[in-house]
Structure 1
Amino acid sequence: MTSLPTPRLDDRSFSQLVEQARSRILALCPEWTDLTPHDPGMVLVEVFSHLTETMLYRLNRLPEKAYVEFLRLLGVRLQPPAAASVRLRFSLSRASERPTEIPRNTPVTLSRAGAGVEPVVFHTADAVTIAPGDTQVEVLAYHCDPVDGELVGVGTGLPGLTVQAKRPPIVAPTGDSLDLVVGVEAGPGELDARAPARRHDGRTYRIWREVENFAALDSNEPAYVADRMTGTITFASSVRLANETGALDEPRTLAAVPGV
């Protein structure tokens, strides 16, 4: 598989810059007749052509961050890091008459690591129990820092709200209970029995759905777009569409917007 060549934003050389300057002089300043290298004016042209060539060389060596920002303007986002996973087995030296519970997010690491090396810490994805009479149980674990819950922003009731996670990046979707969950606080009577919700710190939060974009969504759809690499959560903006007469309708949101 071959990669696309890196584009050059400006590939003019020193000689091309000097020649372009000569052409401009002939067109705009016909009384300037001595265009030989000995002319003081041409010396200045060559000096500035040399400086311009140096600047173009640096321009064509844009840092990776600049390419990332250009792609972001086109709607292309960096893929978030994926958490390494492992299947862990917890064992007892002998069976117990009582169940042994292993809580979710239990950290597990090596008994020792090499000199100067930080030990790798995994966290269990689910709570598991070693049943009475058994001696072992298996559970999936991820190499990441779990966040049980954090307040990242306050709703304004206005479209286009963005909030920022405190410890980006957010790992790629894992498809289990350790995955990203975004909830908006719901007041009494705002939730029906089928709406997904979660309790945290004594409050009820409506769980919103992560989507790639806000196209083809209902204006009341509780959805958001997550840039997991930067930890930015974006809620729907509003648009004004033209009607049959060509006039602009009233603004409408592309999906639901968190209230105040």
Structure 2
Amino acid sequence: MAPKTLSIFSLEGKNCVVTGGAGGLGRECMTAFALSGANCACVDLNQEACEEAIRDVRGRVLSEGGFEAGDLHAYACNATDETAVESVVTHIARDFGGRIDVLVTCAGICVDKGAEDVDHATWQKVLAVNLDGTYLFARSVGKHMLAAGTPGSMVFVSSAAAAHPPRPQAQASYNASKAAVNALAVSLATEWADRKIRVNSFSPGFMVTPLMASQTGKTSHDEPLTERQQEWLTQIPMGRFANPEEHRGTLVWMASNASSYLMGANIISDGGWTHW
């Protein structure tokens, strides 16, 4: 017997685009969506990484759900390239029967360096990936949703760091870019609300992903904590880092009709970190 839950959480038959899909949170998002009945387009810089992520997701859906995942397709795309984004979204829409229902923007980078040591080119790169990439995909997917006249949901992955800069590391470019992502979500939400497109942002706190590994070298919960990670833990009321899969439910809720009146909101999931 299938588990009992509200049907409005279902993504059955929905076509979902996940940028940064080959990364830690992106994979969990696709896994959650596929377990909820969705078809997914995995978008990332590297085609092979996308294909490997899809194999991983298929395996987890079969193992956890006991059924075969729906349509999962891989697409290589540089989120900062306007022409490439327009092309890949057109390709995705064609592959999924002309309809895109959900967009989740997980693609992002972080530079862990003091502001005085960040040159303008690096600053621009961080904003290009985190902010421009979000905008370009939102604009392109939004045009398809508006043309189809069907309800859509967009979830921009931001960060709790947008409102509460973490310490001890310095990462002004990342923090500023994510704050801008939140503002973009609110702006598009107010523009598109009366045309059936919901736009919200999701702000996770510290979690064990490749992004954390790039800052500390830690790649799993089983490895010893670094000195920096120990300091981070003292700042989190729950006293631990999140596993990316703990965000599955939040992402499904935000993408599905279960959050049908959620518009322009920023949902923070950080173990209480921003409250200390």
Highest relative contact order (Cα 8 Å, sep 6+), 1 or 2? Answer: 2
User: Scaled by the length of structure 1, what TM-score is found?
Assistant: 0.21
**Which structure has the larger Rg over C-alpha atoms?**
1
**TM-score, normalised by the number of residues in structure 2:** 0.20
